[in-house]
């Protein structure tokens, strides 16, 4: 799964920096500032809302309509103001006396201090990122956000949509400035990124009103949403005409400036792919691993874990080869799975719809089995949707978008059907479980629906927890008899194998100075996926250092804690209760998850 949004895993998670080592998290000043638990939780909510008010996009993600015509300010001035706010919030919370506070609220305070501390620490690496890449950036976020997040229920919200089109010129100007700063510091994306980003911009600015033909992506979306309003046709026409003018007069010049700048800048880019090339790149990558995994695991340790897991999973794959009586070695079996037509839907509109229909059926079937594995279930609905054409060429294989807390938007599992040869039938079961149920939709929706929990915990998150849960969720359905088809079970293993390989190639690229070609060769030699798919994945790891390590590190921790609990509890072990312990506190760092499970074990043995 490719998490660009993860989401959730929304922009709020960007406000509250992901990940933290909890070893120093309990150090708070002893002062006379006292509150009861209710007042303290209200304070945490007030601080969250103060930060949230600085992010119009995060408010939209959460179903709020404040500052509905604005984009986030991505300038250094805004970042400075955000750091000042975080520093002030940290000082305020650190002065609290927790003597008479309940344990749940103490955990919230501990997590708040962890996140704020890490955000301040991370500001040292403010420029150690790529503002644009084939995976993410304001250039591709603008149309995606307008289409998937900006709802239009009345004329005022339509006008706010238009205002966001107008304000896109400001955002794109800020984006160019951010790239200029990094250029001066020697932090540029590798050369391969530029053609992909330039093509994405060209896709966004193709069609009416930029050129002859069908409506452009944004105009088509706006026209469709306005058409559904209960207003006079003349008013609808006026709104569409105003939107066209905004696209021509503001959005188009902003994208033209960005396109021209990037086209010229690509000559300065190199073919060095790891972040070791950055100023203090080794230290930055170590920090990135700590932030992503919420552990102190080193790049060397993670690399070795990956190699061990690759060997184990490939051994299980050979068992499936023998089960289906395949004649050949593992590489022969990989080739068979890549090329056999029976494993793929046709690359036609009908074939793509068949994929979406089957993915929906898999999720609906899993819904009926949830009581066997879970005590609590999400209230929010889930839909399956194809990735939009304007970004499907560069987006990942699949990803999840969380529902709006107010119920105005369901959770969405996005399947990328750009190249159907990358979306096998044998892998779709694992993908549906990961992105949908019991994976991301279940975990994130349950977290958002928890009661008596501060908002920063409801809407923030840790990649290692959410992706670890998503990968763990691929394996759980097998325990209740799903994956009956051995080829689908092979698909489950191939997904887990890919996440194990990520531990190897992410650390290989960014710590061991592997080239893009070396990383690709390792993938081609060890996974059943196509070369074209592997290329896109390796390019993802290059521009998102450390993120790919979250999946397997998180899964291994959940599985390890489950084994510990089963050994300790014996016949008292209940898988439903274990899952409830994992999910009932929302997304937490792995050390806190371990504390929660150990506390449950202790209580259960009394």
| CB contact burial 485-519 (16+ within 10 A = b; e otherwise) | eebbbbbbbbbbbbbbbbbbbbbbbbbbebebebb
How do residues 448-469 score in pLDDT, each as one tens digit? 888 888 999 988 889 999 999 9
Question: H or E segment at 385?
Answer: strand 382-386
**Same-domain status, 109 and 187:** no
Last residue of a domain, one of 125, 152, 170: 125
DSSP string, 22-89: GGGTT-----SEE--HHHHHHHHHHHHHHHHTT-HHHHHHTT--TTTT-----SHHHHHHHHHHHHHH
Domain coverage including residue 84: 11-125
Q: How many CA atoms lie within 13 A of 48 on its CB side?
A: 28
**Same-domain status, 329 and 346:** no
Is residue 257, in this structure, part of any structural domain at all? Answer: yes
**Same-domain status, 252 and 293:** no
As a whole number, the mean pLDDT across the chain is 92
Is residue 426, in this structure, part of any structural domain at all? Answer: yes
Domains of the chain: total: 4
Sign of CA dihedral 172, 177, 182, 184: positive
Q: How far apart are the first and last CA of the chain?
A: 40
Sign of CA dihedral 484, 490, 495, 499: positive
**Same-domain status, 375 and 427:** yes
Measured distance CA(471)–CA(528) in Å, rounded? 18
Token pair 């999840």 in the structure block, residue: 400
**Same-domain status, 367 and 465:** yes
Measured distance CA(520)–CA(524) in Å, rounded? 6
- Taking alpha carbons only, the member of 136, 510, 459 closest to residue 300 is 510
**Same-domain status, 247 and 182:** yes
How do residues 535-588 score in pLDDT, each as one tens digit? 989 999 999 999 999 999 999 999 999 999 999 999 999 999 999 999 999 999
Q: Are 56 and 12 in contact (CB under 8 A)?
A: no
How do residues 191-234 score in pLDDT, each as one tens digit? 999 999 999 999 999 999 999 999 999 999 999 999 999 999 99
User: What is the band of 356 on the pLDDT scale with cuts at 50, 70, 90?
Assistant: very high
How do residues 249-275 score in pLDDT, each as one tens digit? 999 999 999 999 999 999 999 999 999
SS3 166: helix
Average pLDDT over residues 508-519: 97
Last residue of a domain, one of 513, 534, 549: 549
Token pair 């070609």 in the structure block, residue: 517
Is residue 493, in this structure, part of any structural domain at all? Answer: no
Is residue 571, in this structure, part of any structural domain at all? Answer: no
Name the pTM for this structure.
Answer: 0.86
Is residue 278, in this structure, part of any structural domain at all? Answer: no
Eight-class DSSP state of 403:
P
Sign of CA dihedral 211, 214, 216, 221: positive
Tokens of 40: 């303290």
Last residue of a domain, one of 239, 272, 305: 272
**Same-domain status, 121 and 175:** no
Is residue 576, in this structure, part of any structural domain at all? Answer: no
**Same-domain status, 347 and 479:** yes
**Same-domain status, 347 and 478:** yes
Measured distance CA(470)–CA(437) in Å, rounded? 9
Backbone conformation region of residue 268, classed left if phi is above 0, alpha if psi is from -120 to 50, else beta: alpha
**Same-domain status, 265 and 154:** yes
**Same-domain status, 201 and 221:** yes
pLDDT for the residue 394: 66
pLDDT for the residue 451: 82
Is residue 131, in this structure, part of any structural domain at all? Answer: no
Sign of CA dihedral 347, 348, 353, 354: negative
**Same-domain status, 346 and 483:** yes
């Amino acid at each position: 799964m490719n998490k660009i949004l993860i989401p959730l895993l929304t922009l709020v998670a960007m406000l509250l920096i992901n990940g933290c080592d909890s070893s120093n998290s309990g150090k708070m000043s002893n002062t006379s500032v006292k509150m009861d638990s209710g007042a303290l939780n209200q304070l945490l909510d007030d601080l969250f809302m103060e930060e949230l008010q600085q992010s119009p996009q995060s408010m939209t993600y959460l179903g709020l309509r404040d500052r509905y015509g604005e984009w986030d300010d991505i300038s250094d001035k805004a970042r400075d103001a955000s750091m000042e706010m975080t520093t002030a919030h940290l000082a305020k919370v650190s002065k609290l006396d927790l003597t008479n506070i309940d344990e749940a609220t103490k955990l919230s305070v501990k997590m708040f201090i962890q996140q704020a501390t890490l955000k301040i620490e991370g500001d040292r690496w403010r420029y150690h990122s790529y503002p644009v890449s084939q995976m993410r950036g304001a250039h591709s976020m603008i149309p995606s956000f307008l289409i998937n997040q900006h709802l239009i229920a009345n004329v005022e919200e339509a006008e706010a949509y238009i205002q966001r089109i107008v304000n896109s010129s400001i955002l794109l100007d800020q984006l160019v400035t951010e790239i200029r700063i990094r250029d001066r510091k020697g932090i540029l994306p590798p050369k391969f990124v530029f053609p992909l980003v330039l093509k994405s911009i060209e896709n966004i600015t193709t069609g009416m009103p930029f050129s002859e033909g069908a409506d452009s992506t944004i105009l088509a979306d706006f026209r469709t949403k306005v058409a559904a309003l209960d207003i006079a046709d003349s008013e609808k026409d006026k709104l569409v005409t105003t939107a066209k003018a905004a696209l021509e007069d503001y959005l188009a010049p902003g994208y033209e400036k960005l396109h021209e700048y990037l086209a010229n800048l690509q000559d300065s880019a190199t073919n060095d792919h790891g972040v070791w090339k950055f100023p203090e790149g080794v230290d930055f990558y170590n920090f990135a691993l700590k932030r992503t995994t919420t552990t102190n695991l080193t790049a060397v340790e993670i690399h070795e874990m990956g190699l061990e897991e690759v060997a184990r999973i490939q051994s299980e794959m050979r068992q499936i080869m023998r089960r289906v009586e395949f004649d050949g070695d593992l590489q022969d079996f990989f080739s068979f799975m890549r090329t056999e037509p029976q494993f793929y839907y046709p690359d036609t509109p009908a074939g793509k719809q068949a994929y979406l229909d089957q993915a929906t059926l898999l999720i609906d079937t899993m819904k009926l089995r949830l009581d066997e594995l879970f005590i609590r279930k999400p209230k929010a609905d889930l839909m399956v949707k194809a990735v939009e054409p304007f970004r499907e060429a560069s987006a990942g294989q699949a990803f999840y978008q969380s529902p709006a807390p107010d119920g105005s938007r369901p959770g969405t599992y996005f399947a990328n059907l750009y190249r159907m040869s990358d979306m096998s039938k044998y892998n779709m079961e694992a993908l549906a479980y990961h992105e949908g149920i019991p994976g991301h939709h279940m975990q994130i929706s349950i977290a958002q629906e928890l009661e008596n929990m501060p908002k920063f915990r409801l809407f923030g998150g840790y990649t290692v927890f959410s992706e670890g849960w998503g990968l763990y969720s691929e394996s759980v359905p097998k325990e209740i008899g799903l994956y009956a088809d051995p080829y689908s079970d092979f698909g489950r293993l191939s997904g887990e194998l890919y996440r194990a390989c990520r531990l190897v190639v992410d650390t290989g690229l960014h710590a061991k100075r592997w080239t893009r070609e070396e990383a690709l060769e390792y993938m081609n030699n060890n996974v059943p996926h196509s070369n074209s798919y592997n290329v896109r994945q390796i390019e993802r790891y290059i521009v998102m250092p450390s993120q790919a390590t979250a999946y397997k590190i998180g899964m291994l921790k959940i599985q390890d804690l489950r084994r510990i609990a089963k050994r300790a509890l014996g016949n008292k072990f209940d898988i439903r209760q274990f899952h409830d312990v994992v999910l009932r506190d929302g997304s937490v760092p792995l050390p806190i998850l371990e504390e929660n499970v150990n506390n449950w074990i202790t209580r259960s043995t009394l």
